[in-house]
Amino acid sequence: MRQGQAFSTFIKLLDAVQTHAFSQHFQGEQLLELRLDLCDQRIRGHARKLVQKKSKSRFLLHYV
């Protein structure tokens, strides 16, 4: 997946989360926490994939 396509998919996912959050009557702070948690999970997942590609060391995966 190209970087631009991945970013576009990521933004669509965030928009879907935001729409769902509003439909569930989340407050603004809860919505922000939800979006930040999602960003953190996506970044960690991407970092983990990069480490797995670049290194066979499981030691590094512990810190990602």
Q: For the segment 10-56, what is each residue's pLDDT rounded down to a tens digit?
A: 777 777 776 766 666 656 667 667 777 777 888 777 777 776 676 66
Say what the pLDDT of residue 57 is.
58
Q: Is the dihedral of CA 47, 34, 11, 17 positive or negative?
A: positive
pLDDT band at 64 (very low <50, low <70, confident <90, very high): very low
The HSE-up count of residue 7 (CA atoms within 13 Å, CB side) is 3
Cα–Cα nearest to 11, from 39, 46, 34, 45: 39
Cα 13-14-15 angle, rounded to 5 deg: 90
E strands, the chain, in order: none
The yes-or-no verdict on residue 60 having pLDDT over 60 is: no
**Where do the structural domains in the chain lie, given as residue ranges?**
3-61
